[in-house]
Amino acid sequence: MLVRFFLSLTFLSVSLFADMYWADDYKSGIKEAKKNHKKVLVYFSKEDSVACEAVTWTISFDKNVSDYVNEHFVAIEIDIEYDRREGYKVYQVPTIYFLDENAKQIGKPLTKIPGPEGFLKKLKEIENTAP
């Protein structure tokens, strides 16, 4: 009985999380952004980083944030342990770059990521930036 309750609770909590779409890789993400006239969120992370885990939760599991990202951006995650991605300066993780549909940088990269409300505000500012 307790196991069934735990499984039901786990299923319910997982089903409440938002569906976040991440591009398969950098190249296909940039191609998709250009095709769909979307901006790009490039998220540099590291697998064992506690700070990155917190940001991943903010981006992926806050429904308002993930819905907004899915609608207006192509999200790309790059683990710096496996892909340094030439051309981007990443001195600490997490770091987020925003790009236009032509892969040109918009503003400064974020290294201090605010909570969901602050991040959503930043996303809206970037989205309303002229191409």
Sequence-distant (6+) residues with CB within 8 A of 99 are 30, 33, 39, 40, 42, 105, 106
Enumerate the domain spans of the chain. Answer: 18-127
Asked if residue 100 lies in contact with residue 40, where contact means CB atoms within 8 angstroms, the answer is yes
Judge if pTM exceeds 0.75.
Answer: yes
In the predicted model, residues of the chain with pLDDT beneath 70 are 1-18, 131
Phi-psi region of 77 (alpha: psi -120 to 50; beta: other; left: phi over 0): beta
- The domain made up of 18-127 has a fold known as Glutaredoxin (3.40.30)
pLDDT per residue as tens digits for the range 5-35: 333 333 333 434 468 899 999 999 999 999 9
